[in-house]
Chains A and B, each alone.
Chain A
Amino acid sequence: MELFRSSNIDWLGKKWLFLGFSLIFSIAGVFSLLFWHHLPLGVDFTGGTQITVRFSSTPNEDHIRAAMDAAKVHDARIQRISGAAGLSSNEVIVSLPISSAQDTSHDQGRSEVENALSANYHDSAFTVEKVDIVGPTAGKQLQTQALLATLYSLIGMLIYLWFRFELIYGIAAVVAVFHDTLITIGAFSLSNQEVSLTVIAAILTLIGYSMNDTIVVFDRIREDLAENRRASLAEVVNLAINQTLSRTVLTSSLTFLTALSLYLFGGEVLHGFSFALVVGILIGTYSSIAVAAPMLVAYQNWRARNGKEATLPAAKPVVR
């Protein structure tokens, strides 16, 4: 079976279309980040208390809320969660803001919620499944750490690409990856889903994944540059994208399949994680074709206009 035997699509001819597409999504995301939902950060980063409670029968959210109010537990957010494969579960997440987890009264929120439920909720018995209490110090630390980890891994990849290809390849790849990250985070903001520590892990994965995709295309560009010395860079880039198209589509679909199975079967804890992957894989595949590769051509054209050496040097591939 073969899907793309010899595609001959003029990818670079569509660069304005791509630019428009990328801009729409980026701007929508940035707009939501700035003016609408902002970035809904989970308890890992904001600090606070989050308690997952499982009831022995279908819980009544209004009664839970009433139980909290009766016990004077204010600002509690109550959220039903779904189980595996979208089935309903008897689990509820009760979240309290940061004031419940100050470093001096760390445990207070948890005991308040537990007491409120046992005193005022009479529909069914309950068990506390999971408790996350993150104090302000820890929240700040986790935020810094997530940012630094992302930044360092981008720098690490940039340096490697610089070393193996040319600086411009590294920059183009990092710009493409940044584009993916922005759109994915934008998607979290648009859909008002919480970004947790696990989601950061997913975003880092998609950075790796998108980078992976971009390198496959770049590798082919490098190889084709060495073989087609007469052709223009634009022609070579088009050729390389077309040659790798079959692989690109196949791999994305397969990775997409696994991410989808995570989304469907992985349960609530991995929901945010797999959502980031599902979005990220689509965007990551798109960006290696529509962002990274055209950037190389744009850079070369810019150099040509400035009267500098117009060819993009192809680094030597690894000798086996």
Chain B
Amino acid sequence: MGKNLAAKTWAIVAILVLFLYGIFGIPHGGWKKSITDRIHLGLDLKGGTHLVLQVQVAEAIGSTTDRDMQALSTALAATGATAQKLDPTAHPEVITINSPNPAKNSDVRSVLNDNAYQGYDVQSSAGGFTLTMKKEAIRDLENRTLDTSIETIRQRIDSLGVSEPVIEKYGLGDNQILVQLPGVDDPGRVENIIQSTAKLEIHEVVGTSYPDEAQALQGLGGMVPADEILVKGSGAVGAPDQVWVLKRAPIVEGLDFRGATAQQDENGRPDVGFTLTTEAGDRFYKYTDANKGTGQMAIVLENKVIEVATIQSAIRDQGRITGGFSQQQADDLSLMLRTGSLPASIKYIETRTVGPSLGAASIHQGVMAAVAGLAAVMIFMLIYYKGAGINADIALLLNLVILLGFMGFSGATLTLPGIAGVILTIGMGVDSNVLIFERVREELRLGKTSAQAIDDGFGHAWNTIFDTHVTTIVSAGILFVFGTGPVKGFAVTLVFGLLANLFTAIFVSRVIFDYLLEKRGRTAALSI
């Protein structure tokens, strides 16, 4: 064997070993286990739940402007100006300042110029000012909300003990999160735990409560003031539901809670104790100190008043919620508060669940189809091209090894459409061989020697193979970038398959021809 050829052969063997390692790793515990440890199977093959959630970021914007509005009202009290949100649903990012006394406008201005309101664009308007949260500030807040949500969901799922979950931003839409939970095929409880905002807030109670919303509206003179909200809830364990009038901006909320534990009150009933962050503790102390004795606070969980308490004394950072919980509810609530409450509520927009037996059946069918397709193609090549058919078959098998090895090394996920991609690679992979062999036959018909025909055949076919592969890789690459789910899984195997094919059809098959020519002489008849 020539030196050059020997080097090439060793290169091929090295690549074969390398990619076999990619598929199997160091063999352990049976070949099936070895493969599945290396190649990540998609949820459609191993069973599990795929969720796409949308974080309602507008809520986070709303609660930020609520807080700022509250602070502004206090700061502007001396000027006689008031802060309001005229349209909290459609435009949560806008605060309107009503300044009845134009002479005080410069004082109002200087309050608005405070550092705390840097995130707003201030415009003067008839009778006051309009504060609109800046685009960057909104984007920043949205991103933070999304990140916090992902972090919170991850902690909650981790505490449930799901193995290898995927929790990440989902690129297809705004403010969406992709959650993949392998092995979870009854998503009920997980969905509840993820979705539960555990949005805990403490609001100031204004006036009295009403039996229903209509009467509340009547009591308020037909409309709810902009800085107040109506919230339903019992207010005490066992009490009937009522409608409470609360200040819109909470005293403390979500991120202010630092820790929570399920505990029992003096009568042995489950309740939840919480602690606040230092900063929120200071705020809470100031408020409770100013209102002790008379003021009432409502504890609002998931937009429901669960407890209303009169402020007995100033509280700093410790408190407790008696909501008439069962032990399970107290445990779940404290878990959710501990892992941080979600900064905004969550909606499910896509749920896909695959049971484990269907996944196993899909693998079985996919492998069956692959083996059948492979066998048909290999036999056909042997019959049609005889000796050269062996080249093609070796190249084809090596192609599969490299493709699967790539999957193992890259950690890409193999899905059912991915298996279809593999099968298609078999069909298209053989195309390169066909192109080359047909071209070699043509050159032979022109009366060239075997060596010359192989040289020219490979040379001419290379142009075509290069172009066809680049175009397909271009389109598969685009699919990979813009696609999700099945489309992406398919693009992955297609790209890897094409790359592998460039190597096997051009290089490996050529080395085999060269080896034969060297053994039998450069003019020996080719079996093709």
Interface residues of A (CB under 8 A from B): 1-2, 52, 54, 84, 103-104, 106-107, 110, 127-135, 137-138, 141-142, 145-146, 148-149, 152-154, 156-157, 160-161, 164, 197-198, 200-202, 204-205, 207-209, 211-212, 215-216, 219-220, 223, 243-244, 246-247, 250-251, 253-262, 264-267, 269-270, 273-274, 277, 317-318, 320
Contacts and interface: CB of A to CB of B under 8 A. Distances in A.
B74 to A, nearest CB: 36
Nearest to B472: A208
B369 A261 contact: yes
A106 B52 CA distance: 11
B413 to A, nearest CB: 14
A238 B373 CA distance: 33
Contacts of B44: 269
B423 A261 contact: yes
Contacts of A146: 487
13 contacts: A52-B358, A103-B349, A107-B191, A131-B352, A138-B173, A157-B471, A201-B487, A207-B475, A216-B435, A255-B431, A258-B423, A262-B373, A318-B466
Given A103-B348, A157-B475, A264 B468 contact: no
B348 A137 contact: no
B219 interface: no
Interface in B407-447: 416-417, 420-421, 423-424, 426-428, 430-431, 434-435, 438, 441-442
A266 B381 CA distance: 23
Contact of B365 (A153, A212, A243, A265): A265
Given A208-B472, A320-B459, A103 B347 contact: yes
Contacts of B424: 205, 255, 258-259, 277
A54 to B, nearest CB: 8
Which of A149, A202, A253, A274 has most chain B Cβ within 10 Å? A149
A107 B191 CA distance: 10
Interface string B376-419: 11001101111000000000000000000000000000001100
B366 interface: yes
Contacts of A197: 485-487
A209 B369 contact: no
A251 B380 CA distance: 11
B468 A212 contact: yes
B384 A201 contact: no
Contact of A133 (B351, B386, B416, B430): B351
Contacts of A153: 474-475, 478-479
A201 B459 CA distance: 33
Interface residues of B, number: 76
B462 A318 contact: yes
B482 A1 contact: no
Across chains A and B, which 9 residue pairs bring their CB atoms closest together, nearest first? A255-B427, A153-B475, A258-B373, A258-B427, A267-B365, A261-B373, A265-B369, A138-B350, A135-B349
B474 A157 contact: yes
Given A138-B350, A161-B471, A267 B361 contact: yes
B9 interface: no
B284 interface: no
A201 B486 contact: yes
Highest count of chain B CB atoms <10 Å: which of A84, A130, A244: A130
Interface string B338-364: 000000000111111111011001100
Nearest to A127: B355
Contacts of A110: 351
A251 B349 contact: no
